[in-house]
Amino acid sequence: ATMPRPRCYVFRRELLYVPFIGWALGMLKMVHIDRKDGANAFASVARQGKERMAEGAWVIMFPEGTRTRSGDPKPRYKSGGARFAVDTGAWVIPIAHNSGRVWPRNSFLKHPGLITLSV
């Protein structure tokens, strides 16, 4: 499946300092969040997200804030996605996936398997 518009992901700022991956992320027009910046973190994400949306991009954000174990009975969702939608007037399309089964948290290695998306 393809998306008809450019995509822009929200990612944690620390990833900018990972060799190669961070450099690539820095060159792409993505939105980074500095989670250590407290109250200013959301304002920064909202500003960057509005800029990307004005350029025609879809902003994609993961409400857990990080990868979680697949099948976790009580995932902890962050409020940033809902706050972003209210602040920008953007539509929200909730999508769930089980990629934690093939790419476990705290693991760089991925395992073969089927990832299921639910819209």
**Residues β-bridged to residue 96:** 118
Provide the 3-class DSSP secondary structure of residue 52. Answer: helix
**pTM of the full structure:** 0.76
Q: Which amino acid would we find at residue 48?
A: Q
The pLDDT of residue 1 is above 60? no
pLDDT digits (tens, 9 = 90+) for 39-94: 799 899 999 999 999 999 999 888 777 666 666 666 677 888 888 899 989 888 88
Compare 11 and 72 and report the one with higher pLDDT. Answer: 11
Please give the structure tokens belonging to residue 30: 């993505």
Residues 59, 40 contacting (CB under 8 angstroms)? no
CB-based burial label for 76 (10 Å; 0-12, 13-18, 19+): exposed
The pLDDT of residue 21 is above 60? yes
Please give the structure tokens belonging to residue 68: 């979680």
pLDDT value for 73: 67
**Which residues, 6 or more positions from 20, have their beta carbon under 8 angstroms from its beta carbon?**
none
The pLDDT of residue 28 is above 80? yes
Provide the 3-class DSSP secondary structure of residue 26. Answer: helix
The pLDDT of residue 107 is above 80? no
Q: Where are the chain's structural domains? A: 7-118
